[in-house]
A and B are shown apart, each in its own frame.
Chain A
């Protein structure tokens, strides 16, 4: 009993951390600028590919590869934002959805051209292999790493948002953009910065996810997207806490569902998401 519970908690929370890391960027940018960027899933996918190529082709250490993925994808996102997205800030949501879905299609195609549609694998670095002994149970080191990474990121984000001046500016802009502008905050630059940060984190998530999800393939851009959107909608836009809670809820339920019902457990997170959205359309911690 305790064994099962621990397994579910450990793997569920590890998966939840992955979801959180990928989703939090989207939640903030959607809350900050109201821009629906479905290409976010493609950023995660791209991050996975950069990480994989760095490690497997160039022998770069895993953690360094993650950092490189962060930088590369953040840079790409800034280019996209400056060149394409900025034309659509005032346009209806549907237009933003369609433009960014078009980008996802194109990116999946391009990645398929270059590296093919089959999943690429990664060799986990030595220090993350094996297990950690908790006394009553052994848990995989990778899961522990994921949980630790997630925790660190949450704490850093909180600290960054609550304690730094830039963080205060971001919170102000999320709360009331026009007011923030009239206080002299350059929301346009702030958005680009936040967008880059969020996209970079999605990239890191994509890299971290390779091991958990059994490889990286182009179609992940879509598969990540569906889950991320649900996490963001359930948690509430512009809300780190909300995303975290939603990621935990959905990550654990998804894992538990598939664990107990390997044949049919996949539908639980959708049922839960629907229930939450019907009860609170603005998300668990979103603003009404």
Chain B
């Protein structure tokens, strides 16, 4: 008997993946920003790349419940792959990206197989120590990496036509936006698939998942490898658009910042990454440009925002928006 699913809940589950018109908003905004704020293109491009990185982190933190403080390990690996390729003669950028993806994913496979045997605090510490170690190694092995000062390099124009532009940042912006869109779509497919739902199950109650025959370890490793690959791409784009790389791509602070970004935005829903990165970076820069002072204000704001989020808004900014919309809808009825 194959009677079609009828109930409301079933229809919701079956159509969950359909595109809603609101989803076009962030992309429209991204396109508009290019034209509306020409003076801020560097910041905007950075935000785009960080969103890609944040999405890769959300795939493991928000969906599978793997909390890592060392995802910069893959970001940095992708970055160095692209940079070393270009500085050693292979200046075609797209193949640099592909290689960064592959190496990031491979590195994710090797380390993930080991790291995923742990959980909780141990996992946190392991990932943190790993990325700090990579940072130190990148600083030390200066004959390869150029050490603390890093390397400058230059890529050929994209597709032979659009040159990377470290001054006016136009093709840079579209380059970043294109790949953000592409990998966002990939991530979206994954999270709405049965595999994606299984990840949520693993996050919610891993014992139950074992008891329903789910190959938990294999699933976690799969998403970890995918996430590492995407992080590698983000790293590669990050350095390609700047024409420069330093060990800072492995910095633990960056890993912590991106974790904070997705928490503030809201984990487990890809759009949270958009909100979180934008909010964080704007806060960080507003103090400089608008208030004209340095660090402490934005740190205070982030610190208070974190405390507030944990205590009162565990689903982050996205959660707050959703609640507002729900209240508005209820009033409108």
Contact = CB atoms under 8 A, between A and B. Distances in A.
B31 interface: no
Interface residue range, chain A = 35 or more
A226 B252 contact: yes
Contacts of A132: none
Given A102-B302, A110-B300, A230-B129, A270 B117 contact: no
Interface stretch (B17-25, B130-138, B229-237): B130-138
A281 B121 CA distance: 9
B307 A103 contact: yes
B295 A277 contact: no
Interface of A: 30, 36, 84, 87-88, 91, 93-95, 97-99, 101-110, 112-113, 117, 222, 226, 229-230, 233, 237, 261, 263-264, 266-267, 270-271, 273-274, 277-278, 281-282
22 contacts: A30-B121, A93-B121, A94-B67, A98-B309, A99-B306, A99-B310, A99-B311, A101-B306, A102-B304, A102-B309, A102-B310, A105-B300, A109-B296, A113-B296, A230-B125, A233-B122, A237-B121, A264-B137, A264-B139, A270-B130, A278-B114, A282-B122
A273 B118 CA distance: 14
A110 B302 CA distance: 12
B254 interface: no
Interface of B: 67, 114, 117-118, 120-122, 124-126, 128-130, 132-133, 136-137, 139-140, 252-253, 256, 260, 263, 295-297, 299-300, 302-307, 309-311, 314
A95 B132 contact: no
B117 A281 contact: yes
A112 B295 CA distance: 9
Interface residues of A: mostly helix, strand, loop or mixed?
helix
A216 B232 CA distance: 37
Contact of B311 (A87, A106, A108): A87
B306 A105 contact: yes
Contacts of A226: 128, 132, 252
Contacts of A263: 140
A105 B299 contact: yes
A233 B121 contact: yes
A272 to B, nearest CB: 9
A267 B137 contact: yes
B130 A88 contact: no
B314 A109 contact: no
